[in-house]
Structure 1
Amino acid sequence: MAMIALVPSLLVVACKSEKKAAVVSSEKYTCVMHPQIVKDAPGTCPICGMELVLVRDTGNKDEVILTESQIQLGNIKTVVVAGTAFHTSKILNGRVVVNPDLTEVISSRYAGRIEKLFVKETGRAVSKGQPLFQIYSETLQTLQQDYILQVKQVAAFPNEKIYQTLREAARNKLRLFGYSNSQIENLAKSGISSSSVTVRATASGIVNEINVSEGQYVTEGSQVLRLENLSQLWVEADVYPDEVGSIKLGTVVKIAVNGFAESEQTAKIDFISPQIDPSSQILKVRASIQSQGKLQPGMQVTVLLPKAKISNAISLPLDAVIRDQMGAHVWVKTGKGRFISKMVATGDEDDRQIIITSGLENVREVVVSGAYLLSSQYILKKGADPMAGHDMSKM
C-alpha cells in the first residue's frame, strides 16, 4: 500500500519537470545582425561572433519588440513625422562626353616628311608651345631663303621701300606656314635656312589621336594630331518623348557622377536635339560641366531633372519604405522598443526621398534606418509576412 501511495507524488514531480523543461526549451536565441541564426541556448553567432540575444515574443501579435542593445546594434533610427517642402525630380541616365568646341587639331601647313615625333602615344598631356613633331619641307626652305635674301636687301639698301615691302611679304608667308615671331627673328639673325622645322602645340590638352608615323610623307593640310581639352566636358542625357515638354533651354539640372559623390554639380541645359533617334526612340539633351580634374569622357552620370515643388508633403528616405509585390509599408514606433508595420501609399520620389500620400495619419515616429532588419525580425519571430494582414484595397 505504501508503494502505491508514492506513485501519484512521483507523477506530479515528473509533470512539473516536464513543464519546466518545456519552458526552457521554448526559449530561442538569435543574432541581431543575422536573424536566420536561431539556437535553443545562449552562445555566439557562428557568422559574426556576436553574443546571441533572447527572443521574447510578447505584446501585440503584430509588434516586433527589441531590446536597447538590439536597437543600437541594428542601427534602428526614427524621425518624427512632419510636413516639408518637396521638390520632385525625374532621374535621367547620362554620360560624360568630350566637348568638341575645345578640340584642337594640329595639321601640317605644308607638304613634307615627318622626321621626328616628340609625342608618340595617345593619352599624354601636352602644354601650349611644347614641341610635337619635326618636318622636312623643301617648300619651307625656299621660303626661308627668300626671307633671308630680303633681309639682306633691306640692309644693303635701307632707303629703298620696295625691299622693305618684299621683306614683310616674305615674313608674312612664314607666319602663314606656322612660324612664330621668335623663329623669324632667329632666322634673320642667323641667316641660315633649314629644311626642317619643329611644330609646337598651339594649345594645351590630351593627345587623343596620332595619325602619322616617323618617315611618313604628308600633304598640306594633313591632320597630324588631335588634342582634347578636358577642363570642360559635356553631359548627354537620354529623354523620352513624353518628358520633352518639361525641358527647355536654360533648365537647371543636378548632375551626379557615379562613384564621385564629391563631384556633384548643377548645370543648365544648353542643347536639345531637334529629332528623336529612330532606333531607340529617345531624345538627347546636353549640359556643360567642369571637369574638376577628376572627370573623364565615358563616365556614367545621373541627371536629376526638376519636375514640381510640393509644399507640406510627408517625405521619407527611400530605405524607410519597403516595397514588394504586396505593396509598400513602413515601420512605426508604438512605444519603447516596440515597432509595428503599417501600410502606406506612395507618390513622387527622387534619388533620395519618397512622398507618403496616405497611411501615416496619427503616426508620430517612423523608422528611417533599419527597416529591413525589422522585417527580417518579424518574419523570424512570427513566421509570416508583415504585410499579410493589411487590406491593400483601402490604400
Structure 2
Amino acid sequence: MTKLLPKKPLQTRWRRWLLLLMAGLLLGAAACQQAKPDPENTAESAAYYTCPMHPQIHADAPGDCPICHMHLVAVQPAVTQKKPAAASVVYTCPMHPQVREKQPGSCPICGMDLVKTSSRPAISQLPDTDLATNDLILTAQQLALGNIQVQTLGSGPAATAGTLQTEIPAPQAVLTGTVTANARRTESISSRVAGRVEKLYVRQTGQLLRRGAPLFAVYSEELQTLQREYLLALAQDLQVAEPTYRHFAEATAQKLRLLGVSGAQLRQLAQSGKPSPLVTYYSPRTGTVQTLDVVQGQYVAEGSPLLTLTDLSSVWVEAQLYPAEANRLPLGQTVAVQVAGQANPVRGKVVFLSPELSGGSQLTLARIEVPNPAGRLQPGAQANVLVNSLPAALATRPEASVAAANEPTLRVPPAAIIHNGAVSYVWKQTGERQFRRVRVRLGEGTGAAVPVLDGLQAGDAVVTTGAYLLESEFTLRQGADDDHMSGMAM
C-alpha cells in the first residue's frame, strides 16, 4: 500500500505563488527596458533641432533655445533626403543674422551672445528645391508663427491656401494730418473788470454751451460805482427839466455796456432802483469749452483770460507736405479726408498753404476746412488727406492724361520692400510654402503704395507681412556673403 505524503501547509504555498509573481514582474520590466529606444539612435535620425517659437535657431543636439529657453524639438529629415555633408561651425546673432563668426563671442551690433548655427543642411541640399532659383521653403509651423501674408498684383490667380489674399488699393497720395479747431470760429472770453468770481457756471472743458447761457457772476467795486451813478442820474433827470442828467445817465449806461452789462440787465437795474451786488456774464455764441482758466472764488484782474469757446460745426485738418507736392493741393481744391475712428471719409476744401517751412523738417503746412455738423470730428484726432495723383488743374490737360495712362499700374505697399543699399527686393510666393526673393526697380511712391517699374507682373503674389522674417531666414540659410541671387533678373 502506498503511503500518502503529508500536505504542505497553506502558508508555504502562498509564499511560493508570491515569489513566482514577483519574478514575472521583474522579467517584464527587463523586457521593457530592452525595448526602450536608444536616444543616440533618435538623435542621429533627426536632421536638426529647432525652437517652436524661434525657427531660426538650429542645433545639432537637444537643448534649450538661447532666446526663450524652450526645449528644442527634433526635425526629421525626408525619407529621400541624403545625409548632408558636415558643415563648418558658424556663430551668428539671433537678432542680426548677417553677423557670422567662426568662434563664439558677442554681436558687434547689439552685444548679444552669438549662437551656433549652420550645422543644418544647406538650402541646395533640401528636397524639392530648384537649384536655379534658390527658393526659400518654410514649414507649416514657420508659416503660421511668422504670420506671412501676401497680396496679389492686378487680376492674377488667387493666393495659395494658408495665406491672406487682398487686392492692393487704388494708387493715391496720402498726407498725414491732425484735426484742429477752426480759429475763425474760436472766441476767447476775458474779464472786463477787476473783481472776484463769486459763481462759476462752467466747471469743465468739452461742455457745450448755447448762446446766452450763463458763464460766471463777478463782484466788482467798479461795477457797483457805475450802477449807483446810473441810478442817481436817472433820479435827477426826473426832477430837473433840463436834459443834463439824462445825458449823464446815457454816458454811464454806455460805460456799463462796454464792461459787458447787457441791455436787459440795464432795464432790470432801472426798474429795481437798486444796484446788484453780482453781475452775471453770458455766452456770446454757441460753442464748446476748449480751455477753462478760472475757478470759483478766484480774484481776476481786468483782461484776465477766463475761458475759450469754439464752434466745432467746422474744423481744420492741418497736413504736412513737401514743397514739391504743394502743386497737388491748390487753393480751393476739394479733397477727401479720412479721420481715425470714422468709417467713411469726408470732403474738405483747401483754404491755406503756408509760404514757410516748419523748422528743420523742410515741410510746409496745408490747411483743409472740413464741415462737422454732427460734431464727430474732434480736435487732436489723427487724419489722412487723400490726394489724387494729378492736381485738379492738370487733370484736364491732354498731355497729363497721356502721362497718367502710361503710368505703371503695379504697386506694392512699402512694407513689402526690402532695401539693401541702392538695390530693392520683394518676396514673391512661387508655390505652397515656397518664396523667392526678387529684385525690383521702383518709381516714386507715396506712404500708401510704391510703383514697380520692373521685376514683377500682374498676378504675382507679393509678401506684405513678414518680408523681413523671410529675409532673416534666408540670410541664416545662405550666409551674409552670398548676396548673389538667381531669380532676380530684371
Q: TM-score normalized by structure 2?
A: 0.57
- What CA distance in whole angstroms lies between the structure 2 residues aligned with 1:52 and 1:144? 96
Matches for 1:282-321 after TM superposition, within 5 Å? 282-289=363-370, 290=372, 292=375, 295-297=378-380, 303-308=385-390, 313-321=409-417
The CA distance in 1 between the partners of 2:448 and 2:197, in whole Å, is 58
Per-residue CA deviations over 1:243-276 (Å, capped at 9, x if unaligned) read 333320133445566xx45487553211123x33
1:130 is aligned to 2:200: no
CA contact (8 A) 2:224 2:275 kept: no
Query: What CA distance in whole angstroms lies between the structure 1 residues aligned with 2:349 and 2:234?
Result: 54
Question: Any conservation in 1 of the 2:291–2:308 contact (CA below 8 Å)?
Answer: yes
Letter in 1 for 2:274: I
CA distance in 1, matches of 2:276, 2:383: 52
What corresponds to 1:272 in structure 2? 353
User: In structure 2, do the counterparts of structure 1 residues 52 and 243 end up closer, same or farther at CA, with 3 Å as the change threshold?
Assistant: same
Asked if the contact 1:230/1:296 (under 8 Å) is kept, the reply is no
More strand by share: 1
Structure 1 residue runs without a partner (length 5+)? 1-19
Contact 2:321 2:365 in 1 (8 A): yes
Q: State yes or no: 1:106 paired with 2:185.
A: no
Distance 1:244 1:63 in 2: 44
For each residue in 1:214-244, what CA deviation from the matched residue of structure 2 results, as whole angstroms up to 9, or x when unmatched? 44553xxx35434141724433334443333
> Residues 316, 119 of structure 1: CA spacing in aligned structure 2 closer, same or farther, 3 A cutoff?
same
Residues 256, 301 of structure 1: 8 Å contact kept? yes
Question: 1:350-369, aligned counterparts within 5 Å?
Answer: 350-361=446-457, 364-369=460-465
Q: 1:245 to 1:215 in 2, by over 3 A?
A: closer
Question: Are 1:192 and 2:213 an aligned pair?
Answer: no
Partner of 2:110: none
The equivalent position to 1:141 in structure 2, one of 221, 227, 237, is 227
Q: Secondary structure of 2:484's match?
A: coil
Supply the distance in 2 between the matched residues of 1:254 and 1:209 (Cα, whole angstroms). Answer: 33
Distance 1:49 1:230, change over 3 A: farther
Instruction: Tell me which residue corresponds to 1:54.
Output: 75
More deviation, 205-214/57-66: 205-214
Deviation at 1:34?
A: 1.9
In the alignment, is the contact (CA less than 8 A) between 1:375 and 1:386 conserved in 2?
A: no
Structure-2 change in CA distance of 1:146 and 1:270 (3 Å): farther
Aligned counterparts of 2:358 and 2:145: Cα–Cα separation in 1 = 53
State, as a whole percentage, how many aligned pairs show the same letter: 27
Aligned residue for 2:479?
A: 383
Equivalent position of 2:435 in the other structure:
339
Counterparts of residues 25-44 of structure 1 (less than 5 Å): 27-31=47-51, 33-41=53-61
- Aligned pairs for 1:235-246 (under 5 A) are 235-246=317-328
Q: 1:205 to 1:186 in 2, by over 3 A?
A: same
Q: Distance in 2 between matches of 1:245 and 1:55?
A: 61
Separation of aligned partners in 2, 1:85 and 1:92: 16
SS of match in other structure, 2:44: helix
Shift in Å at residue 328 of structure 1? 1.6
Aligned equivalents of 1:266 and 1:143: distance in 2? Answer: 56
| C-alpha RMSD of the superposition | 4.7
Look up the match of 2:200.
Answer: 118
Question: Greater relative contact order (Cα 8 A, min sep 6): structure 1 or 2?
Answer: 1
Mark the runs of 5 or more structure 2 residues left unpaired by the alignment: 1-39, 78-125, 156-167, 391-403
Q: 1:161-198 CA distances to partner (integer Å, 9 max, x unpaired)?
A: x9xx99x9699746565344654564455332225412
Q: 1:256 to 1:49 in 2, by over 3 A?
A: farther
Separation (CA, whole Å) in 2 of partners of 1:329 and 1:87: 20
Query: Shift in Å at residue 48 of structure 1?
Result: 8.1
Contact 2:358 2:364 in 1 (8 A): no
Contact in 2 for aligned 1:254/1:267 (Cα 8 Å): yes
Contact 1:132 1:198 in 2 (8 A): yes
Q: Does 1:205 align with 2:305?
A: no
Supply the AA of the counterpart residue of 2:308.
Answer: L
SS in structure 1 at match of 2:154: coil
Which protein is bigger by CA-based radius of gyration?
A: 2
When residues 272 and 139 of structure 1 are mapped into structure 2, their CA distance, relative to the original with a 3 A threshold, is: farther
Q: What's the offset of the Cα at 1:134?
A: 0.3
- Given the alignment, which residue of 127, 138, 143 partners 1:66? 138
1:178 aligns to 2:260 (yes or no): yes
2:188 alignment partner, SS class: strand
Contact 1:32 1:53 in 2 (8 A): no
Write the distance in 2 (CA, Å) between the matches of 1:364 and 1:239.
32
Query: Per the alignment, do residues 104 and 55 of structure 1 end up closer, same or farther by CA in structure 2, a change over 3 Å counting?
Result: farther
